[in-house]
Amino acid sequence: MGMTITEKILAAHTEKDIVEPGEIIEARIDLAMANDITAPLSLEEFDKVGAKGVFDPEKVVFVLDHFTPNKDILSAGNCKKIREFSKKYGITHFYEGGACGIEHALLPEEGLVVAGDLVIGADSHTCTYGALGAFSTGMGSTDLTYGMVTGRVWLKVPESIKFHCFGKWQKWVTGKDLILYIICMIGVDGALYAAMEYEGEAICALSMDSRFAMANMAIEAGAKNGIFKVDDKTIAYMKEHAQKPYKIYESDPDARYQSVYEIDAATIGLKVACPSLPSNVKDAAELKGIEIDQVVIGSCTNGRIEDFEMAAQILKGKKVAKYTRCIIIPATPKIYREALRRGYFEVFLDAGCIISPPTCGPCLGGHMGVLAKGERAVATTNRNFIGRMGDPGSEVYLAGPAVAAATAIKGSIAYPEEVL
């Protein structure tokens, strides 16, 4: 019986040749990551166990991205603790200040994750790196402490669900629309404990940025990981960024799947997830007239250069609607610089947008764009739970960059053709 890409990567990180879904394994990890919200709890546990150090200072990563630039005194204190720990234990990849970006955009860009890796992170969106053909999954701070100290993690081998996508994409549609379509189809627990695996000609046609956005939201269907077949685009990306050799794994033709879905790309339009679940998805055209107070274009899902390219195409020569705020958050310093170099900032500033430094900020209602009671946002982020971006009486609609930019101009939910 054949194995899936997920099973092969997991097996390669144990002493076994074969692993099977449902089996509990203890696996070696290639990287363990935490941020300014999850690391403080990890470090408290680290102190409790009396460890002498981390398993490998090159393979433990701290990214201070959530409540930074420090939003208050408590956050500043948390960052200080992580900084001091990093100094003490010689952590190589400690990111803050001008070197820092949103973790799941930053790590691939820095070349710290490559195909074939097994990565754990104390952040649920750690599943993003599956876009590179790696196994990566989110867990809590205590699991992260165990990984940081031992270089190992216990995992239940997940079953896999295959999504085979064919056909041609419509204009403006990105991986975000496809993943919202899929979450709507299978539900917010439709892939609970499972691996979501993508392949097919329509997947190959997607950019790396689109694939990162899709792998990122695997957790929104309850999945353990999302994973893509490595192709020319993946290899080109790794050649540009990788700091270490990669290893390509592919699913066997006779690998076992919990289920297989066939999706025709041509049938997928611009999607919006309405409050308060990522599965509550409608076509953007059905939501015309819903007034929006704030638009956020950024996050670990859609804060990459392709997203700003699309937003700039739509916002060029236009103005953000009166009484609507549009916040642009490039996910990393490199993306920030590239958007600046390409002249997008000029477009955004002329349109009346706010440009924020890289931060998770408003996505989780932290800072830099928190909503008041009764306010509504369209965001290119990943969650629209009750109170996610601020007051429990505020609402979040999730969309891709094209709908977000068009909505900023119109002041109500819109698609590009309405404003161009």
Binding site for another protein (CB under 8 A): 24, 37-38, 40-41, 44-45, 48-51, 66-67, 71-72, 74-75, 78, 121-124, 126, 138-143, 145-146, 149-150, 154, 188-189, 192-193, 219, 222, 224, 277, 364-366, 383, 385-388, 392
Smallest distance, another protein to C-beta of residue 374, A? 15
Token pair 């899929």 in the structure block, residue:
182
Name which of 189 and 240 has its Cβ closer to another protein: 189
Smallest distance, another protein to C-beta of residue 273, A? 13
Question: Alpha-carbon distance 366 to 357, whole Å?
Answer: 14
Name which of 4 and 382 has its Cβ closer to another protein: 382
Measured torsion, CA atoms of residues 263, 268, 270, 274, in degrees rounded to the nearest 10: -60
Smallest distance, another protein to C-beta of residue 353, A? 24
Name which of 383 and 410 has its Cβ closer to another protein: 383
Q: Give every CB contact of residue 316 below 8 A, 6+ residues apart in sequence.
A: 347, 351
Name which of 334 and 383 has its Cβ closer to another protein: 383
212 within 8 A of 115, measured Cβ to Cβ: no
Name which of 12 and 41 has its Cβ closer to another protein: 41
Smallest distance, another protein to C-beta of residue 285, A? 27
Name which of 219 and 404 has its Cβ closer to another protein: 219
Smallest distance, another protein to C-beta of residue 188, A? 6
Q: Are strands 271-273 and 281-283 parallel, antiparallel or unpaired?
A: antiparallel
Smallest distance, another protein to C-beta of residue 280, A? 11
143 within 8 A of 125, measured Cβ to Cβ: no
Q: Quick one: which H or E segment has residue 139? A: none
Question: 399: closest CA among 305, 307, 330?
Answer: 307
Q: Give every CB contact of residue 193 below 8 A, 6+ residues apart in sequence.
A: 156, 158, 159, 222, 223, 224
Name which of 165 and 191 has its Cβ closer to another protein: 191
Q: Which residues of 53-82 are buried (b: 16+ CB within 10 A; e: fewer)?
A: ebbeeebbbbbbbbbbbbbeeebeebbeeb
Sheet order of strands, 31-35 included = 93-95, 60-63, 31-35, 118-122, 135-138
Q: Give every CB contact of residue 46 below 8 A, 6+ residues apart in sequence.
A: 85, 145, 148, 149
Question: Alpha-carbon distance 375 to 241, whole Å?
Answer: 40
Helix 305-315 and helix 401-410: axis angle, to 10°?
30
Smallest distance, another protein to C-beta of residue 193, A? 5
Name which of 115 and 389 has its Cβ closer to another protein: 389
Q: How many other CB atoms are found less than 10 A from the CB of residue 27? A: 24
How many residues does the structure list for the chain?
420
Extract the tokens encoding 398. 């999730």
Name which of 149 and 165 has its Cβ closer to another protein: 149
Smallest distance, another protein to C-beta of residue 103, A? 12
Smallest distance, another protein to C-beta of residue 89, A? 15
Smallest distance, another protein to C-beta of residue 64, A? 12
SS3 (DSSP) at 413 = coil
Extract the tokens encoding 375. 């306010």
Name which of 141 and 412 has its Cβ closer to another protein: 141
SS3 (DSSP) at 53 = coil
